[in-house]
Each structure stands twice: as C-alpha cells, then as structure tokens.
Structure 1
Amino acid sequence: MDGHRSTTPFHDFRATTIDGERREMAAYRGRLVLVVNIATECAFTPQLIGLQTLHDRYAEHGFTVLGFPSDQFHQDPGTDEDTKEVCTSDFEVTFPLFSKIDVNGPTAHPLWRWMCTQKAGVIGGRIAWNFTKFLIDGEGTVLRRYAPPVPPVRIARRIEAELGLR
C-alpha cells in the first residue's frame, strides 16, 4: 500500500477537459505538474506564453502545465470554446486546458479546495486572483504555491531541480 495515498489525493481527483472529456489526475502520476487558474482577459494573461514555454521546455523530462480557466474574478467571460480559442490562437497554448471552474467558495472545484488546504496563500486558503500556481510532484504532493504576479520563468529553476536537471 502506498503510504502517501491518504495524505496526497491529487491523483484521486478528476476534472472535465475544455473539450468536455473526463480526465483523471492519475494520468499525471509520476509527472511534475504546475496547476494554474487561467483567464483570458487578465493583466496576467500574457503569462500563458511563459507557461507554454515551460511546458515545451520540460515536457520530455516529465513536466506538464494544467490550465484551469475561471471567471470568478470576471476576467474570463464566454464559453469554454471562447477560452480555448483565445488560448490556442492568441497564445499558441498546447498544454492541457480544462473546463471553466470556480476556485473559491462552496462551488469551488474539489481539486482547488484541496490544493488550498495544502498550501495557503497570503489571504489564507483562498485564491486571491488569476494565475495562482501550484507545483505538484509526481507523488501528488503540493510542493509550492506561487502568487499570481510570479512569472513562469521564475519557476524554471525549481522545475529543473525537481526534475533532476540541475
């Protein structure tokens, strides 16, 4: 029995992809994952470019970015199709995108509720804004939470260390 199973349930969660398919987080077991709440009309939206750069640079080494659009801060209006269009056309995103979710409150996606209990931010467990980032190891442990202003390039060194590339 895996001793971490009860304390790190990341791989027990599931979410709906932006194309409407059910995806088990267990698909990412053994991979370093950066989970991000994204938005298409936010001052931080250009971070999609940096997130894609990280994804491209480290995917072959066992790293994946997972983008979860949220309109809880009123910065991602429209449908999942609209969000996907902006991400893929304007920012050339190829990393996995999920269906729009809530990240706070009673309707928050269970994965996001769990991540917030693992690593509280400056305002406690709540997500303060779009582009909050959670780095999760291959065992499903939340290693670090990064505030929205932290540019993806600043996470590269930690990713390299976790992947044994440094």
Structure 2
Amino acid sequence: MKKLGILLMFCGQAAMAACPALLNYTVPGLMGGEIKLCEYADRPLLVVNTASHCGFTPQFKQLQALYQNYGARGLMVVGFPSNDFFQELDSNSEIGAYCEANYGVTFPMASKGHVRGKDAQPFFKALIQATDDAPTWNFHKYLILPGASKVISIGTRTKPDDPEVVKAFLPFLKPEESVKN
C-alpha cells in the first residue's frame, strides 16, 4: 500500500511538472467552477477573447462548430469574455445565457475579465508576452499547440474555421478512426 501511495505521488508530481508555464493557470469558470488550463497541455487549445454585442460575435457559431467537429479528436476551445472594448454584458450569468441561447455554446468559458493592458488576466499577459501581440479587438484568437510548443496569434477578422487555422491544429489531433472505435 505504501508503494502505491509513493507511486501515485510520483505520478502526480510528474504530471504537474509536465505543465508548460504558459498553461500553468487556473481561471474561474463563467458559470462557476474552475478551468485548469494545464489539463489541455497535451492538445491544441484555441483561446478567444469574446464579447456578446460585437460585430464579430457570430464567430461563436464557428467556434462551437470547431469544438463539436474536432473536440473528440483533441481540440479544446476556451472563451474569455471581456468588456475591454465595451461590448460585453454585465454579469457572467447574462453572458452564459446569451451564448447558450444564441449560439449553443458548450465549450468552456472563463468568467469575465480583462485581456489587455495592466489589468489583463495573468494568462493573457503570458499569451501577449509569448506572441508579442495583444488583442486590439474582440475575438482575437491564440492557438496554443500541444506542450505550448508554439503559440499563434490570430487576428479578429480571421474566422476561427479559416482553412489556415484548421490546417495549423489538424496535425495535432487524434485520427478520425481512433475516435469512432
């Protein structure tokens, strides 16, 4: 029994050590709970700063489609609502209800926070430092490849399902056949 405890402790430490610094953040979830970004270290992660009342808000539809089409193969999408550009609803519950009712969002969403400037969430500060590119508007995207080996900054005007975006994460997904079995 003692050996099992030591083994479990070692495995836990190994898993923690495997978390890249860029993903070593836990953020509050939009509707409660926490989002532990380290849990996504072994897969492509598409991070998006969102807003409910923006001309680019229909990108939620493409984000949700990506999550539905590629989630089982490993793609993770996480939304980060922000009012930095004065187009987000007031409360987390309003944001959650809006996203679900209008776009059927089922991917994880963090609680509302800042994505740029001195008040930016620490995770966004790390993304900005990694890419030297801060969001200049809503629906700026960061594609983090497995192990945080590379971070690609994707501008607002580029749709989440743009062929270049899909081409960037596709090689890191499980084969389709492996998820059907």
- TM-score interval, smaller chain: 0.7 to 0.9
Deviates more, 1:55-64 or 1:151-160: 151-160
Q: Does the alignment pair 1:161 with 2:171? A: yes
* Identical residues among aligned pairs (%): 28
Q: Does the alignment pair 1:132 with 2:137? A: no
Q: Does the alignment pair 1:63 with 2:71? A: no
Using the TM superposition, give the Cα deviation of residue 8 of structure 1 relative to its aligned residue in structure 2, in angstroms: 4.0
Q: Distance in 1 between matches of 2:96 and 2:19?
A: 33
Q: Distance in 2 between matches of 1:107 and 1:6?
A: 28
Q: Distance in 2 between matches of 1:117 and 1:12?
A: 15
Using the TM superposition, give the Cα deviation of residue 7 of structure 1 relative to its aligned residue in structure 2, in angstroms: 10
Q: Closer, same or farther in 2 for the Cα pair 1:19/1:7, shift >3 Å?
A: closer
Q: Distance in 1 between matches of 2:115 and 2:149?
A: 19
Q: Distance in 1 between matches of 2:143 and 2:90?
A: 28
* Structure 1 ranges of 4+ moved more than 3 A: 5-8
The one-letter amino acid paired with 1:37 is: N
Q: Distance in 2 between matches of 1:73 and 1:94?
A: 24
State TM-score, norm by structure 2.
0.81
Q: Distance in 2 between matches of 1:22 and 1:116?
A: 22
Selected match of 1:13 from 22, 25, 32: 25
Gaps of 5+ in 2: 1-12, 176-181
Using the TM superposition, give the Cα deviation of residue 140 of structure 1 relative to its aligned residue in structure 2, in angstroms: 2.3
Q: Closer, same or farther in 2 for the Cα pair 1:142/1:16, shift >3 Å?
A: farther
Gaps of 5+ in 1: none
Residue in 2 that maps onto 1:119: 131
Using the TM superposition, give the Cα deviation of residue 14 of structure 1 relative to its aligned residue in structure 2, in angstroms: 1.2
State TM-score, norm by structure 1.
0.88
RMSD across aligned C-alpha pairs, in angstroms?
2.2
Structure whose alpha-carbon radius of gyration is higher: 2
Query: Which protein is richer in helix relative to its size?
Result: 2
The one-letter amino acid paired with 1:162 is: F
Q: Distance in 2 between matches of 1:43 and 1:64?
A: 24
